[in-house]
Amino acid sequence: MSEPLRRGQPDVRVGSTTDALTPVSVAERSLRAGPVQWVGLLAIVLAVVAADQLTKHIVTSHLALGDGIHVLGPFWIHHVQNSGIAFGLFASATAVVIVLTGIAIAWMLLFFMRSGARHPVLPVALGLVIGGSGSNLLDRVRLGYVTDFIDLRYWPAFNLADSFIVIGVAILLGTLLAADRVPSSRGRRDAPARS
């Protein structure tokens, strides 16, 4: 008898015993992030931080606080400051926001360390979320606020970091939903036809 699998490890069976249930041997694959996943994550994080900080610098050096430029339709570039989080929530609790953001980033890095090889999309999706969160955290620590400038008139102003966070979360959710659908459709395809 082989040693029982620990929770979360894949059960890859090579041959079987007479009961067709007990594996003869088990292949284990580590889900921990390797050097390739870490390099991918770091590249995405650095690109996100650079793009966000560059656009904020351009806006703050060309527009006075409160000024705006109409670009097209409802799209404006409008220089505003936000000491809170999304929609200006917790504007008077910057220290709490800094601590919570730091904890969230640390948790995402720990998750990535333990599961980074689970899916090829993880370095990209978590890189977007960590990079966006980190860039806004950098501003809150240095300045006490973040610069927002993308204004659609019917939505509170936001910045590139916020956009990257939303895109990263959307990629994660889309991947989870797609992965959840694959086994059920495969199971139906492999089921024997009844006559």
* Rounded-to-integer distance, Cα 139 and Cα 44, Å: 19
> Residues 52, 139, 151, 162: which is the catalytic one?
162
Total Cβ atoms within 10 A of residue 129: 25
> Which one of 52, 139, 148, 151 is the catalytic residue?
148
Q: Which helix (H) or strand (E) holds 147?
A: strand 146-151
* 66 and 151 Cβ atoms separated by less than 8 Å: no
Question: Which structure tokens are listed for 42?
Answer: 């770091």
Residue burial 25-56, b: 16+ Cβ < 10 Å; e: rest: eeeeeeeebeeebeebbeebbeebbebbbebb
Yes or no: say if 145 and 83 are a contact pair by the CB < 8 Å rule: yes
Task: Give the three-class secondary structure for 85.
Answer: coil
Q: Is 52 a catalytic residue?
A: no
- Using CA of residue 92, residue 152, residue 159, residue 36, what is the dihedral sign? positive
Phi, psi angle pair for 103, to nearest 5°: -65, -45
* Residues noted as catalytic: 148, 162
